[in-house]
Amino acid sequence: MPAIETFLLHHDDGIRVMLTNLGATLMAVDVPDRSGRRANVLLGHARPADYPAAGAPGPDAYMGATCGRYANRVAGATFPLDGAIVRLVANEGANQLHGGVPGFHRAVWRVERAEATCVILSHRSPDGEAGWPGALSVTATFLLPAPDTLRVVYRATTDRPTHVNLVSHPYFNLSGDPETTIHDHRLRIAADHFLPIDGAALPTGEAWPVAGTPFDFRIPRPVGHDVRPGYNHNYCLNGNGMREVAWLDHPASSRSVTIATDRPGLQFYDGYGLSGAFAPHSGLCLEAQGWPDAVNHPGFPSSRIDPGDRWQAITEWRFGPSPAS
C-alpha cells in the first residue's frame, strides 16, 4: 500500500490548497478576505489520521474526499446491466451510498506526480469491489491553473461494462469560521429543474421546475433554511460542456467562489446532518456530478462506461471577492 502523504498546492500570492492521497481528499483551501486576511474555507481535519476509518458512518467519512466509484445513492443497491441484475453491497440501509465500503474516500491513492501547482493521484478498483463490475482505473489531477483557481480532473477506464460517477465532496464555509452557519451565504445555481427525493434521499424519477419553489436559486439569495430537514437535492444544470454553474459568496467577508464543470448535475447539500466535530449547517456541499441513481433511471444522463471509453469529469472552483464588495 502507498504511504499516506499530504501536499500543499500554492502560487506566490494565490490560494493555498492542502490535500492528501488518503481518499484523494481536499483538507483545506486558504483564501483571503477583502482585507487580505487568510482563512480556510473548507471543513476538514488537520491530519489524515483524524479522518474516520473505512466503513465509519456519518458525514465526516466523506468530508473533502473523492467519492466513488459511484457517488451519491443507488436505490436498493441494485441496477440492471445488459440483461442481468447487478447486486451491490449496501451501506446506507438497503441502498448504496458513495460507492459503498471501502470506497474511494478511504483508499490510499498512488502518487504519480507532485509539484507546487499540480498533484496527480491514481487508484485501481478491482472487479467486484462493493459489487461493481469491471476493474476501474482512475486518476485524479488537482491543479492550480491560476492563482485564484483550483481544478480537479477525474479520468477513468474499465475492462468491463460498468457505471462511474466520481465527485469531489468539499464542505464550504466561506466565512472561515466553522462555528458559524452557512445560512447567510448567498447562492446562485444555473438550473431550471431539480430532482425531488423520497424519505431515503433517492430521486423519485421526476424533474420538477424550480420556479415558484424554495429550490429556485437562479437569482442569488441567502441559503437560509426554507426546506426541512434541509437541502440534499440534485440540480439539473442548464447547458452542456464546461460552463459556470454556481456561485456562492459570504457578504460579511466578501469571499466568493464560482463553480464551473462539465457535469450534468450539482448536488446541493446544506449540511443539516453534520454532527460530531462540526455542527449542522456549518458547511455546505455543491457537488458537480452525474445525476443520483442514474443506473436505475433510463431517462437520466447516462453514467455507463464501456471498455475502450475514456471517461472524464472536470470541476473548477474560482475564488475571489464578491462582485458587490
Provide the annotated active-site residues. Answer: 169, 287
Q: Is 232 helix (H, G, I), strand (E, B) or coil?
A: strand
Q: Which cell goes with 311?
A: 471517461
Q: Are the C-beta atoms of residues 259 and 316 closer than 8 Å to each other? A: yes
- Residues 40 and 68 sit within 8 Å (Cβ to Cβ): no
Which residues are paired to 10 by β-bridges? Answer: 16
Amino acid symbol at 104: F
Q: Virtual CA dihedral for 145, 146, 148, 152, nearest 10 degrees?
A: 0
Closest CA to 258 of 322, 319, 194: 319
What is the distance, to the nearest Å, from the Cα of residue 110 to the centroid of all Cα atoms in its chain? 20
* Cα distance between residue 195 and residue 325, in whole Å: 33
Q: First-to-last CA distance in the chain?
A: 48
CA-to-CA distance for 187 and 195, rounded, in angstroms?
Answer: 18
Question: C-alpha grid cell for residue 173?
Answer: 464555509
Task: Decide: helix, strand or coil at residue 62.
Answer: helix
User: DSSP state, 100?
Assistant: -
Sign of the dihedral through C-alpha 283, 286, 291, 295 = negative
The grid cell for 143 is 491543479
Let me know the angle formed at the C-alpha of 172 by 259 and 284, rounded to the nearest 5 degrees: 95
Residue 140 one-letter amino acid: A
Q: How many CB atoms lie within 10 A of CB 204?
A: 12
